[in-house]
Amino acid sequence: MAQSINCQKVKGTIDFYGELSSKKRYVENKAREICKKYNMEEIITPTFENTEVFSRSSGDGSDIVNKEMYTFLDKSERSITLRPEGTAGVVRSFLENKLYVNPGLKKYYYCGPMFRFERPQAGRFREFSQFGVEFFGEDNYLLDASVIALGDKILKSYGLSGKYRICVNTIGDFKSRQVYQVALKEYFSKYIDSLCDDCKRRLEKNPMRILDCKVDKESEVLKNAPKIKDYLTDESKEYFKNLQEALAYLGCDYYVDDNLVRGLDYYTDTVFEYIACNDDSENSINGMAICAGGKYAELVSKFGGPDISGIGFAFGVERVTNLMDKFGLFDDNVKTKVDFVLIGLDKVAKLFTIKLANEIRDLGYVCELDYKNTSFKSQFKLVDRVNAKNILIFGEEEIKNNLVTVKNNENGEQKSVKLDDFLESIKK
């Protein structure tokens, strides 16, 4: 008896085909176009790295490192991890290739698959695509404000204005966080029994992570926890004040969320998220983070590099695609429009249409053919199926006299013209 084979996709992954793949590419390419206008370079890093790249950047106490990474030993017994996020790999590449040696601000964008072993749910997958940006070389609130405004610009380009809000906060500099961690540890120690198991572990390693807990996020214990704003140094307070003024000047509609922290160790000072709102549907996505990021003043040096500050953000392409679908924001641009269907009514004409179709495609048009049939009725079914704008018909008479019968499928007009004249007209 033949053994059955599991030919289904792995849980938490997606097949992209047809219109769905067109929507995904639309979201990616729209962001690329905007980033190029900021004179940003694309950076492409491997989908897997040495595990230390992520454990060093994310922190041993993070959920990503402890629970979500796809890590394995390769045939040389090296610990390898499929990338769970993009920043660490970009920083590793930035240092390894000495991209920091030339002066000036370095600006990169990336797009590619990420992998996290977490419970699949709405907007959350085990393999997902992420589009992100990273800026290196300047420690300045004006840059922070510009990067936040860039994320706002990208999301608005998808038609999502009014569908999200920008949340910002400061988690302070290193000195601020040292004092704050002590206060949090003292506070949460009183409520240790009411915390989830993960938070009990975080209490020792990094109590600030408790504020980012998905299990206890509605707990009064978390809501009443000490706020970072009460432990900021004067420098951090001034930095955050200047950032808010810059955001207001740039027209970014934001609000300060005192409870906002980021789940990775490398962030300092500015952190921000774009949170979905204005959705009253049954499967509401209100409160879901569409895009998130922050400043990391110490990450590059943590990798053994020079003391260079960075800031960036990333969004899940599938999450944005789903949100656009939910609000009906994709137009006909994501559908492939067939400009011409070429119909050949005999063997000679059929061969001729194949060659001609390639010539017309070289001019930038989308062409389709029925390679099998020669009857008009059979080939016209393809016209209906692809909703072609025009039909080009070739029979014995057309081939003999170098003519083409052109039918406009939208208004029904049909005429016979010289083939050379037709080709010249569509070139123009």
Q: Alpha helix locations (H) across 12-135?
A: 18-37, 51-58, 63, 87-96
pLDDT at position 50, please? 94
- Per-residue pLDDT for 428 more than 90? no
pLDDT at position 332, please? 72
pLDDT at position 221, please? 82
- Per-residue pLDDT for 333 more than 60? yes
Share of the chain above pLDDT 90, in %: 61
Least confident of 92-106, 327-341, 388-402: 327-341
Q: Are 213 and 200 in contact (CB under 8 A)?
A: no
- Per-residue pLDDT for 244 more than 80? yes
Least confident of 183-192, 275-284, 287-296, 329-338: 275-284
Length of the chain: 428
pLDDT at position 209, please? 78
pLDDT at position 403, please? 94
Radius of gyration of the chain from Cα atoms? Answer: 28
pLDDT at position 175, please? 87
As a whole number of angstroms, the distance between CA 398 and CA 403 comes to: 4
CA-closest candidate to residue 334, choices 323, 344, 345, 325: 325
**Higher local confidence (pLDDT), 241 or 409:** 241
Least confident of 108-122, 230-244, 343-357: 108-122
Average pLDDT, the chain: 89
Mean pLDDT computed over 247-267: 84
Model confidence at 59, in pLDDT bands (50, 70, 90)?
A: low
What residues contact residue 384 under an 8 Å CB cut-off, 6+ apart?
A: none
Mean pLDDT computed over 152-173: 94
Model confidence at 122, in pLDDT bands (50, 70, 90)?
A: low
pLDDT tens per residue across span 285-307: 667 889 999 998 888 888 888 88
As a whole number of angstroms, the distance between CA 370 and CA 383 comes to: 9
- Per-residue pLDDT for 369 more than 80? yes
Model confidence at 60, in pLDDT bands (50, 70, 90)?
A: low
Which two tokens mark 55? 């454990």
- Per-residue pLDDT for 281 more than 70? no
Least confident of 110-119, 285-294, 343-352, 372-381: 285-294
As a whole number of angstroms, the distance between CA 421 and CA 406 comes to: 12
Mean pLDDT computed over 137-156: 96
Q: Which residues of 358-392 are buried (b: 16+ CB within 10 A; e: fewer)?
A: eebeeeebbbbbbeebeeeeebbebbeeeebbbbb
Strands 79-82 and 71-73, bridge-based pairing: antiparallel
pLDDT at position 287, please? 78
pLDDT at position 119, please? 76
Model confidence at 392, in pLDDT bands (50, 70, 90)?
A: very high
Q: Three-state SS for 419?
A: helix
Model confidence at 284, in pLDDT bands (50, 70, 90)?
A: low
As a whole number of angstroms, the distance between CA 359 and CA 371 comes to: 17
DSSP string covering 354-407, please?
HHHHHHHHHTT--EEE-SS--SHHHHHHHHHHHT-SEEEEE-HHHHHHTEEEEE
- Per-residue pLDDT for 411 more than 80? yes
Is residue 186 exposed (0-12), middle (13-18) or buried (19+ Cβ within 10 Å)?
A: exposed
pLDDT at position 348, please? 94
Backbone angles phi, psi at 366, to 5 degrees: -95, 125
Is residue 197 exposed (0-12), middle (13-18) or buried (19+ Cβ within 10 Å)?
A: exposed
Backbone angles phi, psi at 277, to 5 degrees: -150, -175
Q: Are 179 and 238 in contact (CB under 8 A)?
A: no
- Per-residue pLDDT for 280 more than 70? no
Is residue 107 exposed (0-12), middle (13-18) or buried (19+ Cβ within 10 Å)?
A: buried
- Per-residue pLDDT for 47 more than 90? yes
Q: Are 52 and 84 in contact (CB under 8 A)?
A: no
Strands 289-296 and 310-316, bridge-based pairing: antiparallel
CA-closest candidate to residue 29, choices 276, 310, 321, 313: 321
**Higher local confidence (pLDDT), 280 or 229:** 229
Model confidence at 173, in pLDDT bands (50, 70, 90)?
A: confident
